[in-house]
Amino acid sequence: MTRISKRYLKEKVLMRIYQLFFEVFSRSKSKDVFLALIEDVFSPTEKIMIAKRIAIFYLLIKGLDYRTIADSLKVSPATVVTYGLLFHKRQTKLVEIIKNMLLKEKALGFLEDIFAELFIQPGVKIGHHQLRWEHKKRKWEREVLG
């Protein structure tokens, strides 16, 4: 668990710090820049902790049971229950973002399947056997993870 000072900041100062935090992280133009910022700012423990918290919400939305989530993420069942209560008690912004991601993921997968059926013609065009295999592999991964 990360440590935090017992001395509280004034609300105004805390809001300015959050604004600075937002400004720094919102300026990342690519995934690489964002990952470099994460590497610069957070300790290895903090990165893992934040990633696991987001993953708990993601897996709860996907419908996995608490025990499976705890085992797969190597967290205590109490941690999953804590975030599960938060998840079920109110709709957080994180939950909304993850649900939108999953909807887009399903829509993009559906469109990819349609285009693959129309344009990938193994045996007719050279190289399409490889494209068809790659498409089948991505489709299988979506079904397993989805």
pLDDT of the chain, 146 residues: tens digit per residue: 557 778 888 999 999 999 998 898 888 888 888 888 889 999 888 888 888 888 888 888 877 888 888 888 889 999 999 888 877 777 778 888 888 887 777 766 666 666 566 556 565 555 667 777 777 777 777 766 65
Find where tokens 């300015």 sit: 16
Number of Cβ atoms within 10 Å of the Cβ of 51: 13
How many angstroms separate the CA atoms of 14 and 7, rounded? 12
Find where tokens 């205590």 sit: 76
Number of Cβ atoms within 10 Å of the Cβ of 31: 8
The first and second tokens of residue 130, run together, are: 């490889």
Find where tokens 């599960």 sit: 84
Does the pTM exceed 0.75? no
